Structure 1
């Protein structure tokens, strides 16, 4: 396992946390975030966010789509609600998001599985009729979850707390990187940015094994020319580490 150097494309601060987990396991890693997370800071936008947070007790379900959504929402909840409102079902998509909420004192549940598709399968359609649902996410996130819930009769609102930005790297960044043997990518948008940079500066990377969080992103990777894309069945560290160990085990057979 010590001979495998892993490229970690998560945004910060998750990138550093993942690398610490890998270091504890004796695995080397290289940080190269493919998304920057920028909290929304405009005065008007923040006033609108504050108003939605004060009204959060009006919702039956609050769904957090990422760790960043959970972390930033908890900061707003702490500022606006000395005690959490009762009667709200708090849900994190994926174990990592849910754990972030639990660590902040939000009694969140997590659906079986790690994806939007798994959450839709878990939420019973009959119980969604006329339910008020708030989806906490980054600006311009995937519309599928809200659209599908609305089709089931739910009344869906959105709360956008951050923007995802493509990091700016130069050719020198890639020239200075050490060799890597495996890549972690944790979202479709990160994959798109990584593909763009790889095609410019590291075309050989597209022959490396690349672990993705879901079958959807695996298919996306293959369509983009990543010949060794494999699904880790989750974007959390545990899922990716398990898939990494499985890969290394096969390499050593």
Structure 2
């Protein structure tokens, strides 16, 4: 991943899957900065993203992370937070001959790469982080459920939801599946139904904190503040 990130200007399009993808890519790029930088540089100085490639983001939270890093995404769906929404943009139907780098975590869906390749692009990956199941004792979590302390769960990716489902095991599964759930894509809502959640998942408008809070309010029959 780091070798490809060092050659960003060779690409026509950088496609960031998530906020984590932006943050971890920038962290890797910052490792190549000279050690003798002036001490009085601003703390929020944008570093690491050249002007040459166009940028695409999945979701508004990812777009905001890119803006904070000093670049406004060239391609961002007005609606939707998934691969399909991005691929529906007319500009991304004309990518023949483009060299595309998808910045993501290890593994995940192949929809973006497969579709862009079918449209004539050359696609590579920079996998800059890995999702893992937390090394935590699920019994303490299960105990909090049974004490009535957990009323809702948020999951910002399918992997997060699946990992939580696996982590609680058979002992805590009934508690999890009876809990209200907020996700950030229709695809995750489908996964929730397949896993056996008793209530339909509430789909947030995006993966940002405010959108998740608004969706949580809707879960409990309250209207988000305008």
TM range (shorter): 0.7 to 0.9
RMSD: 2.2
The yes-or-no answer on 1:218 pairing with 2:153 is no
The yes-or-no answer on 1:111 pairing with 2:77 is yes
Give the conservation status (yes or no) of the 8 Å contact 2:49–2:69: no
The yes-or-no answer on 1:77 pairing with 2:43 is no
Deviation at 1:96, TM superposition (A): 1.0
Report what 1:91 is aligned to: 56
Deviation at 1:147, TM superposition (A): 0.8
Distance (Å, rounded) in 2 between the aligned partners of 1:83 and 1:141:
25
Deviation at 1:191, TM superposition (A): 1.1
Distance (Å, rounded) in 2 between the aligned partners of 1:172 and 1:198:
10
Report what 2:220 is aligned to: 248
| TM norm structure 2 | 0.80
Distance (Å, rounded) in 2 between the aligned partners of 1:210 and 1:199:
19
Report what 2:127 is aligned to: 160
The yes-or-no answer on 1:64 pairing with 2:16 is yes
The yes-or-no answer on 1:203 pairing with 2:143 is no
Report what 1:122 is aligned to: 89
Alignment size in residue pairs: 203
Structure 2 gap ranges (5+): 34-46
Report which structure shows greater RCO (CA 8 Å, sep ≥6). Answer: 1
Give the conservation status (yes or no) of the 8 Å contact 1:137–1:162: yes
Report what 2:42 is aligned to: none
Cα deviation 1:214-236 (Å, max 9, x = unaligned): 11110111011002123224322
Secondary structure of 1:87's aligned partner: coil
Map 1:180-191; keep pairs closer than 5 Å.
180-191=150-161
Structure 1 gap ranges (5+): 1-48
Give the conservation status (yes or no) of the 8 Å contact 2:95–2:121: yes
Question: Which has the larger strand fraction?
Answer: 1
Report what 2:41 is aligned to: none
Report what 2:44 is aligned to: none
Cα deviation 1:41-92 (Å, max 9, x = unaligned): xxxxxxxx33212211011110110111100111233444767433311122
Cα deviation 1:16-48 (Å, max 9, x = unaligned): xxxxxxxxxxxxxxxxxxxxxxxxxxxxxxxxx
Give the conservation status (yes or no) of the 8 Å contact 2:61–2:206: no
Give the conservation status (yes or no) of the 8 Å contact 2:12–2:98: yes
Secondary structure of 2:109's aligned partner: coil
